[in-house]
Structures are given as C-alpha cells and as structure tokens.
C-alpha cells in the first residue's frame, strides 16, 4: 500500500523506535496487550493510528493508576493519623485512671473536669479505627471510606460528645491551673508524664487534640476528593463527608469563639463591678455588657444631675457621676473598649438604681424615633450649601448672560439654608435627646426621664435597648416555668354545658381582689360561674342568666380606672364559636334595627336561683324582650328608674340571639338582674373596650360602637355601625393595636380608625376565603393570628402589616402526646388546631384542640423589622385538658394577696421548690387560667412515667376529671 504524500513537518516517522516504557513503569507492549491492540506488522497508516490511540489510552490509564495510588496514600495517611490520635486518647485515659485512683495527686472533681468526655471520645474513635483497618485490608474489593466518615460524624452521640468537650474546654484548663497551684505533687507527676511520652507532649498539648482533629479530617477528605473521579462509587459519600465535617468544624469554631468571648465578658463584668461603688453580684454566665452612656436626669429638687447608664443584656444600672479625686486600683488587663476606659478611669460611680429589662419599657412608641440621625442630615446640607456657593462663584466667570442661573442658584441656596436651619432647630430640641422609661416598682409604674448628649446618642441607645429586649424575649432559659397551682372542676352544672368565655372584673371586691366570671353554655342555657380568689381559688356561684348561648363577655372599667392614653383593657379571651347567627330575618340597616333597653332597679325578686333549679333562674321571653319603646318613652322610663352609676365598672355579656346583658362588676348575679339589656340586629360574637368606646362584633359583618359622654354612662340607644363585609360573614375577633381596631372577618383583617370609625386598610391572612381567622392577640408591635383548622401561628408586624413568621406547633404537640394511646393520638392529630391564645409577661400561651397548652417566648417586634431569622422557643406544659382548650385568660395578683395551696399539694411541689406559692406573691405576679374539657397530666403516660409526686398530685383530683369531659379550670402563677 502506498503512503500518501504529506508535508515534512506532519509526516509520521516510520523509523521511530517504539517507546520502551510509559509513566507508571509499564512497557508499551504491555499497555497495548492490556488494551487489546495488536503489535504485528500491518500497513503503515493503520499502524500509526493504532499507536496514537494506544498512547492516549495509556496516558489515561497512567492518570487512573496515579489517582489510585494517591487515594491509597491518603487513606493510609488517614489511618496512620487516626491510630496516633487513638493512642493519644488512650494515654489521656490512662492519666485519668491514675488520678482517679490516687486522690493525693488531685481531687476527683478536678480530674473529672480535666478529662471530661475523653473516655467517650476514645470509644468512638476506636470503633472508627477498626473500621478503617478493615477497609484497608479489603481495599482492592471495596475502595471506599466516605460512608464510614458520614456514618461516624452524623451520629448524635458523637456530635454531643464533641460539643460537651468543647463547652468544658475552659473548665478543664481552669482545673489544671488550680491543681498545679495547690498540688505540687501533681506538677511533678505532669513532668514525669511528659518525659515518658514519646513525643514529649505535655497534658495541655494532648487535651487540645480533639479540638484540632475535626479540621484535620476535613483537609484529608478534601485532598482525597481531588483524586477521586466523578463516576467513582466513593465520590458521593466523600462529598457528604466533607459537608458534614465542615459543618461540625464550623460549630466547634463557633463554640470556641463563644467560650473565649464568655471568658472575656466575665472579666469585663468583674472590672465594671469593681468600678461601681455599691454594686455586687454583677457576674453571671449569660450576662453581657452592651453599652455605656453619660446622661442627665432630673433630681428631686428639679435640678439636672449627671448620671451614667450601664446597659447589659438583661439589666440596666444607673449610677451617679463624680470626678475622681484619688486613685483606685486598676485591673491588670483591660477587657473593655479603649474608648470606655479613659472615661471609667477619670470618674467615680455610685449605684443609684438596678432594674431588670423585663421591668423596663419605652414610655413613647417606637414610631416617634427619627429614622435618620439629624447630625448626618445637617452635614449633608452643609456640604450641599458649600457646593452651591462654589457654583455661584464660578458663574461669575461666564461671559454669556446667566441671570436665570443666578436666580435658580439663589432659590436653591435659600431652600437649603432653610432646611439647614430647621435641622439645627430640631437638633437643639431637648425632646429629641430625651427618653422616657416606665419602670415597674412595688408601688406601681413610675416614669424615668433620661436626656442624652445628642439625638444620635439617644437613637443609638434606644436601638441597643430594643435589641437587648428582643434577645431577652427569645432566650429559652431566662425565666422559670409557670407554677401550676391546682385544677378546679366545675361539676354542679347542667350536663352538656361547655365553657365559652371568661373575663375579670375591673373593680375589687371586699377582699381587695378581682373576681373571675366564667361562662358556659349549650344551645338552651347560658350560665355564669363566679371564681373567687379568696381565701383560695374556688367557685362561689353558678347561675343561669339567659335562655340562649353566651358567646362572649367583657369587663368594661369606668373612665377613672382606665389606663391613660386609651390603652386596651382586658376584654377576656373569647373562644372560637360557630358561624351560626340568630335565626330569622334581621334588618341590617342600623337605623331601622330594633334596639331594646331595660333598666332595672337595685331591688329584684326573691326567686330562688339555686344551681338545681336552672329553669327558675332563666329569664322568660317577656322579661328579656320588653316591647320596643320610642325615644321619648325610653327617656321617660330612664327617669322613672334608677340611672346606672357611671363610677362602677361593668360586665357586658353577649348572646347568640343578639342580646347584651350589662351587670355591675360587684353584682351578686344570684339575686341581681341585668342593669341594662340591649338588643342588637345580629348575634354577638366578640366585645372589646377602649377608654371611650365599647365595640361589639356582630354576626352580620358589622361592628357596633357604644360611646360614653364625659361624665355619664354608656349611650346604648344609638350605637354607631361599621360594615366590614357581606352579611353572612361574622366578625370573629377584635383587638386594639397601636390605637387601631383590628377586626377579623373571614380570612381578612380590617384595621379601623377608632376616631373616625373608618376602615383604613384591609389585608388577607390566608388566600383561601373559606379559612377564617379564629383568634388574634397582640404583644407589643406583633400580632399573633390563628386560622381555622390550622396549627400554624402567623406573626404580623402591626406597623407594616407584613407577616414576619409562621410557627408550626405540630412538633411540640407530638412530643407532648408521645405517650398517649395510638388511636387517641391519631384522633387528636386528625383535627388538630389552635383554639385559644393569650399574651402574658412576654409569653404567648397557646391552647389546642388536643388539650395541650404551650408557651412561646414572644419576640420583641420593632419598627422596620423583617422576617425572623430564627423561630422562638416553644415549651409544652405537662398539665392540660382531656379535650380541647376553650379559653386562656390572665389576671394580675394583688401584691399583698396570697394564693394558698392545699397541704396535700404543698408537699409535692418538687418541680418548683424555688418559687413557693404559699408565701405572699411578689410584684407583678400573674394568674393564668385555662378552661377546657377535663384535666390531663401528660406525664402520667407510658412515655412519661409518673413520678410519685405526680401520682400524688393526680390523686387529689377526682378521677372523673381525667376520664370524661367534666369542665375544668387550670391555674398557673407566673
């Protein structure tokens, strides 16, 4: 065969000898034979092509063989380093055993702190070493190690062991330091151990190895990945191993940083405690120093005094300020900022006030905080004015006519100068540098006014204060758990009655305590039970007051007892009710609606209202619905009867048939009839009150507003109406937030201006209109919303109306019901939903249809806050209901009152022995009341075996409360 002519530089060399060998030590013939390429004489062109293909494939094989060699080398290095690491751990365990046997060298407690978790770490890595050895011995058949690394470092036991070791690292160092100081024989023992060690490593060098080992794994795995092809069976596992090791290394580094930062912070707190005269017990593990500011405050004589604010993560300390004449002992090392120490060293401080951040609030809304610092705006305006002045000077060099330009520049300079003057006036306004704080003291709320050196300093401090409050509210371990008091069964009631709503009287009774009115109903009777807190929580009376369902109740204080500024008064927690409105056609026109009012004198009939004769205590239709009167006739009737006393607080009870009964707070409902009866055009679903209005949500989508004159009683004849939506959509819930009325109707929330009674805005909670809002509660600028047939809570920013968090409570409920019967648990989860909510002292209480009650650390929502980066902590409460939670309610306990606990329960208060309920309650103690079907202690299950104390506590309660749906009230103190 002839060879085609080719250029000299591209023509293959026929006489070129065959390469004797290729990289990797294999001969060319061997490679060809391996690749099934013939080396027998053939025509020239095919031979050249085959040789070129052989070279390429041989090169690929060389790379493959090289990668295989590198992988084997890296795995061998991993095994060798692991073996060395295990030997070091074994040496540490040997040291630990020696110290445990010989207490003359060091105390057992110190040795345990030194070698904490070392035996556990050794066991984990001995197991890994054996697995690595087995893989290396069978490397030809199974060249994989990624799965071993993933299996080892994803085990919860391994992660927890390393986490505990890192957290104890500083404690171990402190223990070694203390032992060296107090035990010379321990020092000699350490020196002997170091000499005997083959690497001459001392104890500190050996103990640091677990901290350094995880990053070493990550480096080896990264190197192994570089020499592992994409299609290798070990590739996926190695990538997973690298990711897991990287996450673990980051976690360890973060913990190291936290430990170091905690140590520095502890030193800083000790130094601050030394500088402030009269301050003690400042050093606590979780306390952090945040900010230091010099301010002025008014003294008792009206004079301005220099003061200093020391803001901590959970504390505010106020001191006086005096120029230091002498010297005080300085700490050996300064841990505070360089800017702070010159001020600290040149002044003396004496403690004036120490207040927990939980007892501090900003007196003015966050809305009043300027968005931009005035100093920065002033500087920008001064810069603009200088630029305009330069431009004006340059216009003088123009040869053309520039009169219009000059006029425009003069106008612009005048405008900028005017803005600059306004900013300077604002900057000099003392109000912009002043912060008013409300402090909860034993004598009630007090206001403290603080003036900063500039508005910028005031803004910076206020922001730091709000962030500290936010972090404090999210911390899970900052408060003790609520103290469970006792369950109260409601037995002597008509069968089939269910709890519906609750409210606390605004006026005090003869014992200087407030009573709690608890309502329960079925389709035929509405009953009110009065819970008295003296001498101990107990039901004093249960009386039927209506012949229809009671849907809501609200306590309406007198004007003199209302909080200043129109704050929302507690209107009771109203459980979700059915969408059924009053039967019959009703006219939605408020002007043509028949509004009936009846005024009763203080005297009433002597008919028996005993619990066993419900029918006799139910008003007849004739009593409940007198004939409608004209306005003149109504005025005449008012004059003829006793005019209601405007100085007494009232209880407003709403019915399913549209009636509202109004009682005095201190009325004995066993012998008193309603002071006022009002008939509205539709079913009453919710009632709330402000200083000047009582607002009623109706089943026809309207809100009725009753107003009160300055010195009179509520005008119930002519309420104002606001239409929210179609007549078939009831107003399910209303609350007042930031001076606006929030109304829930179907899946929408309507925000109403209380002054004009006009809807300002409306927005949906969910997109599905068939899933209506069932409950709303507010916590500062945050509004928590629950939706029908859902266990997810939504948190809304009250300023922007944006939803910033969705909190799913299912995992927490699952944990609480883990020990229940399978069938019962499946039934409860099939219809799981939120049925009640309450906010009390920065805690959100949530009740569910499963009877489980949970508390959530409510985040502190501030202006401009976006979506929460982390969800707040949810804590389940062991005491709950057999059936669903009907309502949650709270009342403030009198600072001088005591809630006694029966002696049978005092002996079993093991869980809360630090907070004795038998003693007088301290300031701001709150009683939380849950109402629901039955009583259940979720610890008394197979998954949570009952302790003797729990069994004793349960034995106090009648077993019928746990086995059936007897209505129960559960009480906590927090």
pLDDT in tens, 693-739: 999 999 999 999 998 887 677 888 889 999 987 666 899 999 998 88
pLDDT at 316 over 90: yes
Single residue among 421, 438, 470 that ends a domain in this structure: 470
pLDDT at 912 over 60: no
In the chain, what's the furthest Cα-to-Cα distance?
136
pLDDT score recorded for residue 343? 60
Stated as kind and residue range, the H or E segment containing 783 is strand 782-787
Query: Where is average pLDDT lowest: 220-234, 302-316, 815-829?
Result: 815-829
Q: How far apart, in Å, do the first and last CA atoms of the chain sit?
A: 104
When pLDDT is averaged across residues 239-243 and rounded to a whole number, the result is 89
pLDDT of 472: 79
Cβ-count burial 584-621 (b if 16+ within 10 Å, e if not): eebebebeebebbbbbbeeeeeeeebebeebeebbbee
pLDDT at residue 577, rounded to an integer: 30
Residue 519's beta-bridge partner residues? 501, 528
58-67, 428-437, 786-795: range with lowest mean pLDDT: 58-67
Say yes or no: 354 and 235 in one domain: no
Phi, psi of 23, deg, nearest 5: -60, 140
Last residue of a domain, one of 406, 441, 470: 470
Check pLDDT > 80 for residue 326: no
Interacting residues of 616 by C-beta distance below 8 A, sequence separation 6+: 607, 608, 609
Q: Within 10 Å of residue 732's Cβ, how many Cβ atoms?
A: 23
Helix (H) or strand (E) holding 760: strand 758-764
Cβ-contact 445, 438 below 8 angstroms: yes
Q: What is the pLDDT of residue 442?
A: 62
Residues 242 and 313 in one domain: no
Q: Pull the structure tokens for residue 737.
A: 């937030």
pLDDT of residue 779: 87
DSSP 8-state secondary structure symbol assigned to residue 53: H
Instruction: For residue 306, give its domain range.
Output: 286-322+346-368+429-470
Last residue of a domain, one of 439, 470, 501: 470
Residues 210 and 314 occupy one common structural domain:
no
Question: Could you tell me if 716 and 737 are in contact, meaning their C-beta atoms sit under 8 angstroms apart?
Answer: no
Give the per-residue pLDDT at 873: 80
| Closest to 641 in 3D by CA, of 675, 597, 600, 678 | 600
Neighbours of 6 (CB within 10 A): 9
Residues 6+ apart with CB under 8 A from 492: 542, 611
Q: Are residues 814 and 856 in the same domain?
A: yes
The residue with greater pLDDT, 173 or 480, is 173
Predicted local distance difference test score (pLDDT) of residue 166: 81
Q: How far apart are alpha carbons 482 and 970 in whole angstroms?
A: 12
Least confidently predicted of 18-32, 346-360, 708-722, 948-962 = 948-962
Neighbours of 673 (CB within 10 A): 19
Do 294 and 352 lie in one domain? The reply is yes
Task: Give per-residue pLDDT as tens, 627-677.
Answer: 333 444 444 444 444 557 778 889 999 999 999 999 998 888 888 788 889
Residues 244 and 298 in one domain: no
- The pLDDT tens digits for 432-465 are 788 888 887 666 678 888 888 888 888 888 888 8
Distance CA 259, CA 935 (A): 44
pTM (two decimals): 0.52
pLDDT > 90: percent of the chain: 19
Angle between helix axes 209-226 and 235-275 (nearest 10 degrees) is 150
Whether 839 is covered by a domain: the verdict is: yes
d(CA 543, CA 927): 24
| Count: domains in the chain | 3
Based on the fold, state whether residues 355 and 219 are members of the same structural domain: no
- Whether residue 99 sits in one domain with residue 212: yes
Q: How confident is the model at residue 67 (pLDDT cuts 50, 70, 90)?
A: low
Distance CA 543, CA 229 (A): 82
Q: Is residue 131 part of a domain?
A: yes
Residue-level pLDDT at 894: 64
Beta bridge partners of residue 752, listed in sequence order:
741, 759
Percent of the chain with pLDDT over 70: 71
pLDDT for the residue numbered 686:
95
* Contact of 539 with 531, CB cutoff 8 Å: yes
**Residues 509/895, Cβ–Cβ less than 8 Å:** no
Q: Residues 785, 821: one domain?
A: yes
CB 688 within 8 A of CB 728: no
| pLDDT at position 590 over 80 | no
CATH number of residue 362's parent domain = 2.30.29.30
CA-to-CA dists, residue 947 to 48, 295, 950, angstroms: 88, 55, 5
> Quick check: is 250 in a domain?
yes
- The set of long-range contacts for 621-630, using a CB threshold of 8 Å and a minimum separation of 24, is 621/547, 623/673, 624/546, 624/547, 624/659, 624/677, 625/596, 625/679, 626/596, 626/598, 628/594, 628/595, 628/596, 629/596
- pLDDT category, 749, cuts 50, 70, 90? very high
pLDDT band at 569 (very low <50, low <70, confident <90, very high): very low
Is 146 found in the same domain as 210?
yes
Domain annotation covers residue 902: no
Mean pLDDT score of the chain, rounded to an integer? 75
Query: Between the CA of residue 713 and those of 276, 559, 597, 684, 952, what are the distances in Å?
Result: 55, 10, 14, 21, 51
Domain CATH for 797: 2.130.10.10
Are 302 and 358 in the same domain? yes
Confidence at residue 83, expressed as pLDDT on a 0 to 100 scale: 92
Q: Tell me if 796 is assigned to some domain.
A: yes
Instruction: Supply the CATH number for residue 211's domain.
Output: 1.20.900.10
The first and second tokens of residue 847, run together, are 């009740």
Closest CA to 146 of 131, 126, 163, 124: 131
Taking a C-beta distance cutoff of 8 angstroms, is the pair 845, 837 a contact? yes
Angstrom distance (rounded) from CA 734 to CA 775: 8
Peptide bond into 905 cis (omega under 30): no
Give residue 437's Cα distance to chain centre: 23
Split at pLDDT 50, 70, 90, the class of 379 is confident
Task: From 146, 124, 150, select the one nearest 135 (Cα to Cα).
Answer: 146
pLDDT at 20: 43
Cα(894)–Cα(514) distance, rounded to whole angstroms?
A: 9
Residue 13 has pLDDT above 70, yes or no: no
Question: Mean of the pLDDT values across residues 402-423?
Answer: 84
- CA–CA distance, 886 with 837 (Å, rounded to integer): 10
Together in a domain, 310 and 351 = yes
Six-digit token string for 314:
């959970």
Cβ-proximal residues to 873 (8 Å cutoff; 6+ apart), any chain: 474, 475, 476, 856, 857
Evaluate whether residue 295 is within a structural domain.
yes
pLDDT higher for 58 or 488?
Answer: 488
Rounded to 10 degrees, the C-alpha dihedral 817/821/824/825 comes to: 30
Position 670 in a domain:
no
- Other CB atoms within a 10 A radius of the CB of residue 669 amount to 24
- Tell me if residue 334 falls in helix, strand or coil: coil
Is residue 645 one of the residues assigned to a domain?
no
């Amino acid at each position: 065969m002839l060879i085609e002519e080719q250029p000299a530089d591209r023509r293959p060399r026929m006489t070129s000898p065959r390469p004797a060998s290729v990289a990797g030590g294999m001969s060319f013939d061997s490679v060809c034979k391996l690749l099934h390429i013939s080396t027998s004489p053939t025509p020239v062109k095919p031979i050249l092509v085959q040789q070129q293909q052989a070279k390429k494939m041989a090169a690929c094989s060389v790379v493959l063989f090289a990668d295989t060699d590198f992988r084997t080398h890296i795995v061998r290095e991993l095994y060798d380093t692991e073996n060395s690491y295990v030997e070091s751990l074994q040496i540490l365990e040997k040291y630990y055993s020696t110290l445990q046997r010989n207490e003359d060298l060091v105390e057992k407690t110190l040795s345990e702190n030194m070698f904490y978790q070392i035996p556990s770490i050794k066991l984990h890595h001995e197991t890994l070493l054996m697995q690595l050895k087995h893989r290396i011995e069978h490397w030809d058949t199974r060249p994989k190690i990624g799965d071993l690394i993933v299996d080892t470092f994803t085990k919860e036991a391994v992660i927890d062991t390393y986490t505990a070791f890192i957290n104890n690292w500083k404690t171990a160092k402190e223990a070694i330091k203390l032992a060296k100081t107090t035990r010379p024989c321990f020092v000699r023992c350490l020196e002997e151990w170091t000499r005997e060690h083959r690497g001459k490593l001392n104890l500190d060098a050996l103990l640091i190895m677990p901290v350094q080992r995880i990053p070493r794994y990550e480096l080896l795995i990264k190197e192994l990945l570089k020499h592992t092809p994409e299609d290798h069976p070990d590739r996926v596992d190695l990538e997973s191993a690298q990711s897991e090791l990287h996450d673990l290394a980051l976690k360890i580094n973060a913990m190291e940083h936290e430990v170091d930062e905690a140590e520095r912070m502890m030193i800083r707190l000790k130094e601050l405690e030394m500088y402030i005269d009269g301050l003690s017990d400042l050093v606590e593990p979780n306390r952090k120093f945040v900010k230091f500011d010099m301010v002025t405050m008014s003294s008792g004589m009206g004079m301005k005094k220099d003061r200093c604010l020391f803001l901590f993560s959970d504390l505010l300390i106020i001191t006086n300020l005096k120029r230091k004449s002498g010297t005080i002992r300085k700490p050996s090392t300064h841990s505070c900022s360089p800017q702070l120490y010159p001020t600290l060293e040149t002044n003396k401080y004496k403690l004036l006030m120490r207040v927990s951040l939980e007892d501090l609030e900003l007196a003015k809304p966050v809305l009043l905080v300027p968005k931009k610092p005035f100093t920065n705006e002033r500087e920008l305006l001064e810069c603009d004015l200088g630029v305009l002045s330069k431009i004006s000077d340059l216009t003088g060099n123009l040869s053309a006519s520039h009169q219009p330009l000059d006029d425009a520049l003069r106008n612009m300079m005048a405008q900028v100068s005017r803005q600059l003057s306004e900013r300077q006036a604002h900057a000099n306004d003392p109000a912009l540098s002043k912060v008013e704080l409300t402090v909860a003291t034993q004598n009630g709320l007090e206001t403290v006014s603080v003036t900063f050196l500039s508005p910028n300093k005031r803004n910076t401090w206020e922001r730091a204060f709000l962030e500290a409050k936010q972090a404090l509210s999210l911390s899970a371990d900052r408060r003790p758990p609520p103290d469970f008091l006792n369950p109260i069964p409601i037995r002597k009631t008509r069968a089939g009655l269910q709890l519906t709503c609750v409210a606390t009287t605004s006026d005090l009774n003869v014992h200087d305590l407030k009573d709690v009115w608890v309502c329960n109903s079925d389709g035929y009777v509405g009953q009110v039970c009065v819970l008295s807190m003296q001498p101990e929580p107990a039901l004093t009376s249960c009386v039927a007051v209506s012949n229809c369902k009671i849907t809501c109740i609200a306590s309406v204080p007198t004007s003199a007892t209302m909080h200043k500024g129109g704050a929302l008064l507690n209107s009771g927690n109203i459980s979700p009710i059915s969408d059924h409105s009053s039967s019959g056609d009703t006219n939605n026109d408020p002007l043509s609606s028949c509004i009936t009012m009846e005024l009763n004198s203080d005297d009433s009939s002597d008919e028996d209202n005993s619990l066993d004769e419900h029918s006799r205590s139910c008003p007849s239709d004739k009593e409940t619905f007198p004939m409608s009167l004209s306005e003149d006739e109504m005025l005449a009737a008012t004059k003829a009867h006793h005019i209601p006393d405007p100085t007494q607080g009232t209880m407003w009870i709403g019915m399913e048939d549209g009636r509202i009964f109004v009682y005095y707070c201190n009325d004995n409902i066993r012998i008193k009839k309603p002071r006022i009866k009002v008939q509205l055009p539709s079913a009453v679903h919710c009632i709330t009150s402000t200083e000047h209005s009582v607002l009623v949500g109706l089943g026809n989508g309207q809100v009725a507003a009753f107003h009160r004159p300055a010195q009179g009683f509520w005008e119930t004849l002519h309420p104002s109406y606001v239409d929210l939506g179609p007549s078939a959509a009831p107003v399910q819930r209303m609350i007042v937030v930031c001076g606006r009325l929030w109304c829930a109707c179907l899946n929408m929330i309507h925000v109403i201006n209380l002054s004009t009674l006009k809807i300002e805005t409306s927005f949906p909670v969910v997109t599905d209109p068939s899933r209506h809002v069932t409950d709303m509660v507010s916590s500062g600028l945050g509004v928590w919303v629950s939706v029908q047939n859902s266990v997810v809570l939504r948190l809304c920013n009250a300023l922007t109306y944006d939803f910033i968090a969705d909190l799913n409570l299912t995992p927490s409920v699952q944990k609480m019901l883990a020990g229940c019967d399978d069938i019962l648990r499946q039934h409860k989860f099939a219809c799981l939903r939120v049925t009640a909510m309450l906010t009390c002292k920065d805690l959100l209480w949530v009740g569910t249809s499963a009877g489980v009650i949970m508390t959530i650390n409510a985040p502190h929502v501030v202006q401009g806050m976006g979506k929460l980066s982390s969800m707040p902590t949810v804590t389940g409460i062991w005491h709950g209901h057999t059936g669903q939670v009907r309502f949650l309610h709270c009342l403030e306990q009198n600072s001088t009152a005591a809630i006694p606990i029966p002696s049978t329960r005092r002996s079993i208060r093991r869980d809360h022995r630090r907070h004795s309920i038998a003693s007088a309650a301290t300031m701001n103690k709150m009683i939380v009341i849950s109402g629901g079907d039955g009583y259940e202690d979720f610890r008394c299950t197979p998954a949570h075996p009952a302790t003797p104390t729990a069994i004793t506590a349960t034995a106090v309660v009648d077993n019928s409360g746990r086995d059936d749906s007897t209505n129960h009230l559960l009480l906590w103190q927090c």
